Amino acid sequence: MSIKITGTGSYIPSSIEKNENFHKHHFLNTDGSSLTHPNEVIIEKFKAITGIDERRYAFDHLTSSDLAFFAAEKAIVDANIDPETLDYIILAHNFGDVKHNTIQSDILPCLASRVKHSLRIKNPKCVAYDILFGCPGWIEGVIQANAFIKAGIAKKCLVIGTETLSRVVDKHDRDSMIYSDGAGATIIEATNDEGGILAHETASFTYDEAYYLFFGNSNNKDLCPDTRYIKMDGRKIYEFALTNVPLAMKACLEKTDIDIKEVKKIFIHQANEKMDEAILKRFYKLYNTEIPEGIMPMSIQELGNSSVATIPTLFDMVRNNEIKNQHLNKGDIIMFASVGAGMHINAIVYKY
């Protein structure tokens, strides 16, 4: 028996927010003072560091659970399964359903229950629950699904990553330009095929690192002090990721008998183009080997950072040949790796 991803689906909003749309934003420092550079320079530097040209925002009438439902429908069709046969729906997010022009998160009922309701699944033994694990949430959901199937208490699981970060950004913070919306879903099944999940690794660094990402006040001190927005210490996250993600990836790979030269694709959380490139460089440096050309597909340039949705949407796009010069072949060894709020890190080695 192997445990494999048998279906994928994604929902990428069609509403595009380009970099030039931020030219009229009033960006401020954390102390409320204005930035010294004009927006054109700020945006140019932002593009050089992150690689982001544009990002996607959900339409006003949609929420994270809506996006998750759309992606889930596609994954179920792709896997050609009856949704009534699902044993678990595991949904990763960070902020729940935040309706447009509101400041309150809604997680009652949990988003997984909402998706199950929208899918019209009657089976009460299909257990639906959410996980809050930062950007690595989708990978951790896959790891949990793998454990349930290995333990013999499940045969089929639906794992979703969904987020509408555009609803929780501080428009006066230049970091707001990073974030995006989207959803990706996968069906995880026990099959008789070869391959599937070969190894996984997870770690939580909380002693000093727990609050590198947090909910904080707007940089605009005139706004309501009781309203919170997503905030981050970008420098500390960058340094943390460069040190710890390659080590977690190496630990994961070493649980198998696979040589690094056999790895064909690495799907890293799409947080920052320069950071992902640096993580990859550090990873291959641990093995004193060169980075193969085209090994790391990227979607951040057009889709931005949609947190838990970045890897499942990217994987779905590559599976469907929607990214230029990127494709997968049966038997390919691939890796998934992510880092995010918590601070959590995880990785999976997978035979496609």
pLDDT value of position 277: 95
pLDDT value of position 1: 85
| pLDDT for residue 178 is more than 90 | yes
265-297 pLDDT, tens digit each: 999 999 999 999 999 999 999 999 999 999 999
Task: Provide the CATH number for the domain formed by 2-193 in this structure.
Answer: 3.40.47.10
Say if domain 197-351 classifies as CATH 3.40.47.10: yes
55-82 pLDDT, tens digit each: 999 999 999 999 999 999 999 999 999 9
Cβ-contact 90, 148 below 8 angstroms: no
Instruction: Give me the mean pLDDT over the 162-173 stretch.
Output: 94
Of 33-37, 182-186, 234-238, the range with the highest mean pLDDT is 182-186
Tokens (6 digits) for 34: 């204005």
128-153 pLDDT, tens digit each: 999 999 999 999 999 999 999 999 99
pLDDT value of position 239: 94
Instruction: Give me the mean pLDDT over the 226-232 stretch.
Output: 90
Tokens (6 digits) for 30: 């954390």
- pLDDT above 90: percentage of residues in the chain: 85
pTM: 0.94
pLDDT value of position 37: 85
pLDDT value of position 224: 87
Helices 64-79 and 111-118, axial angle in degrees (round to 10): 50
197-351 matches 2-193 in CATH topology: yes
Amino acid at 331: G
d(CA 186, CA 72): 7
Domain ranges of the chain: 2-193, 197-351
